[in-house]
Amino acid sequence: MLHRRMFLALGMLALLAGPAPALAQEQSIVVASTTSTQDSGLFEHILPLFEKKTGIEVKVVAQGTGQALDTARRGDADVVFVHAKAQEEKFLEEGFGVKRFDVMYNDFVLVGPKSDPAGIGGTRDITAALVAIEARKEPFVSRGDRSGTHSAELKLWKEAGVDIETAKGPWYKDIGQGMGAALNTASAMNAYVLSDRGTWLSFKNRGDLAIMVEGDKRLFNQYGVMLVNPEKHPNVKVKAGQAFVDWLISPEGQKAIGDYKIDGQQLFFPNADGARS
């Protein structure tokens, strides 16, 4: 009899509570993103704010942009948040994404040993710096992982008139890993490396490394976000995934991104309005 009363009481409480929220069955999403957003500490800063507001847990798969987009192509992510616009637009053209939104930007920096054996420190011309590194065969670390940073690096070599596939040798170390690993390798080798500024600012194991080249407009680094197309993958958690996209580009999400700083330096600059994209 007691058990029956308890059952009835629980049933009444459920009725009084009303229907579950629309997102109740979508309380976690997978976001395929870049190692730079992870290694820079940005997610550590913004995700607790989003999760507190919505109750939606975000599980991040941090990879190079190319790998992150492939993860989404397989239907193993609900949202992609990456930084290689040409690759992102191709992803959309193939029908794997719903719509792309600008979220934020920062820039790339060319980092190298303070002794600067290539003699490039202080220049704002990234292509001239790469030409000097290749001419002297100074150690250079490449991510080699089809990431946004790797794609930017290859584009810059091309713009510098260097066929890196032909020119590469023992001086050019292709590691096939993320930004943190590339910086660690460069620190150990006293080598040059292209880094996104956000990961560089958060990087602790700098050793003898410092920024050699910055400020060239060709080093601009835009990030975008897309919901994975549920027509391709019906398992995509559309409402929860779209809630994350909407929050990132909302005034609240944009403020959270802009508020993230290390030692007073802002790592990412929100531009959901498309400024400078």
pLDDT in the model for residue 22: 47
Query: Alpha-carbon distance 239 to 245, whole Å?
Result: 10
Yes or no: say if 201 and 108 are a contact pair by the CB < 8 Å rule.
Answer: no
CATH class of the region 107-219? alpha beta
Q: Which residue has the tokens 């060709």?
A: 218
Where does the chain hold its CATH 3.40.190.10 domain(s)? 27-105+222-270, 107-219
Query: Alpha-carbon distance 31 to 111, whole Å?
Result: 29
Query: Alpha-carbon distance 24 to 176, whole Å?
Result: 39
**What's the mean per-residue pLDDT of the chain?**
91
Segments of the chain with pLDDT less than 70: 1-26, 275-277
pLDDT in the model for residue 18: 44
Query: Per-residue pLDDT tens for 107-138?
Result: 999 999 999 999 999 999 999 999 999 999 99
Yes or no: say if 226 and 91 are a contact pair by the CB < 8 Å rule.
Answer: yes
Q: Tell me how crowded residue 217 is: count the other CB atoms within 10 A of its CB.
A: 9
Angle between helices 251-259 and 42-54 (to 10 degrees): 150
Report pTM: 0.85
Yes or no: say if 148 and 38 are a contact pair by the CB < 8 Å rule.
Answer: no
3-state SS class at 39:
helix
* Domain 27-105+222-270: homologous superfamily in CATH: Periplasmic binding protein-like II (3.40.190.10)
pLDDT in the model for residue 274: 73
pLDDT in the model for residue 273: 84
Percentage, residues of the chain above pLDDT 90 = 86
Yes or no: say if 260 and 45 are a contact pair by the CB < 8 Å rule.
Answer: yes
Query: Per-residue pLDDT tens for 5-55?
Result: 444 444 444 444 444 444 444 689 999 999 899 989 999 999 999 999 999
